[in-house]
Amino acid sequence: MKKFFLLLVSVIAANCVAQEPDLNSLRMPDGFSVSIYAEIQNPRQLALGSENTVYVGSLRGSVFAITNMNGDETSDNVVTIAENLNTPNGVAYYDGDLFIGEIGRISRIEDVDSKLSSPQQTVTVNDSLPDRRHHGFKFLHVGPDGKIYLPVGAPCNVCEEDEIFATMLNMNLDGSGLEIVASGIRNTVGFDFHPESEELWFTDNGRDMLGDDLPACEINRLSEFGQHFGFPYIHQGDLPDPRFGNGHDPSNYTPPVLKLGAHVAPLGLAFYRGDMFPDEFDNTVFWAEHGSWNRSEKSGYRVMMGQISEDNTRIVSNRPFVEGWLQGQRNWGRPVDILNMPDGSVLISDDQANLIYRVAYTQVRN
């Protein structure tokens, strides 16, 4: 344990070395450009409100609003709309209200669009969630059924715990009816509902301490409530855990749609919904790989894209969409979340460079 702690401290220290952002080092498919949309301290989940306003969660206690009344390529202003919260990573906008996901609490700012001049008091929606910080960051999404979806990660690297941990939950907008809809999910901090099938797709971070290349992080698809995705017994759909996997058959668990690299730390996930990008981006999913802290050679630090099959059940091909935050073994940024904008561009949050980028297609479409 001491050796692991010293490794963690040294890696965190290395990643905290200040490096200037270098947008010229970012690589994208032909025809795309990237620009700085806003500067915000530690931006995490993004949510689109009315009139192009973007709400931003963070790990530093504050929630922000980015205004852009004209829908331009850069924002007008950044304001703090909530502060002194417990790690408000998650934000979701629905019917004029902003829902905020803290470690053990979901709260709300009602009629948030009219309250952008100063920090607001939040109203508790549900405070019955576990308050354990390890994998406790919340990501929020209001589903097609009008319910809030949120995770409760495993409070450990790998362990057996109370039923509520390592799960996906949903609840009514007023906080009632909290229920587990999926289990065996170690730590998801990003998900979205497919625009056609309305099935929930989500990222999951694989366990540590099995070496550089095991197990794979995952993209998963929830096709029906009650599915179990393996943790802590089975990793990446086919790898029994050395401690907890004995007697557990991988075929009894739901395998991932796609196995990613080990330790790439996939976070935000979003289906492309715009019409700015070329036709090849139809039925495409993006996910942000925040980047490894526990490999001898770093991996991740990029935004990936995957083409979905015609029956909307699997990813048939995948490749980088934006990369270049990692230069050799030094990284100057870490992407977190992806957001569709009304004009067809996408925003990407970066909690290391403290930036939100705008990625647009700048060539004329044929």
Q: Tell me, what's the pLDDT at 216?
A: 98
**CATH number belonging to domain 17-361:** 2.120.10.30
On average, the pLDDT of the chain sits at 94
Res. 6: pLDDT tops 70:
no
Res. 2: pLDDT tops 80:
no
* 8-state DSSP, 263: T
Q: pLDDT by residue (tens digit) across 332-357? A: 999 999 999 999 999 999 999 999 99
Do 85 and 137 form a contact (C-beta atoms < 8 A)?
no
**pLDDT band, residue 231 (cuts 50/70/90):** very high
Closest by alpha carbon to 214, among 139, 292, 283, 315? Answer: 292
Give the chain's length.
366
Q: pLDDT by residue (tens digit) across 74-130? A: 999 999 999 999 999 999 999 999 999 999 999 999 999 999 999 999 999 999 999
- Name which residue leads in pLDDT, 15 or 365: 365
- What is the helix (H) or strand (E) element at residue 235, kind and residue range? strand 234-235
Do 199 and 223 form a contact (C-beta atoms < 8 A)?
yes
**pLDDT band, residue 366 (cuts 50/70/90):** low
* Section 22-41 average pLDDT: 97
**pLDDT band, residue 365 (cuts 50/70/90):** low
* Section 29-42 average pLDDT: 97
- Name which residue leads in pLDDT, 16 or 283: 283
- Positive or negative CA dihedral for 343, 145, 305, 74? positive
Cα separations in angstroms, 224 against 182, 197, 200, 239: 9, 12, 9, 23
Q: Which pair of tokens denotes residue 5?
A: 């702690």
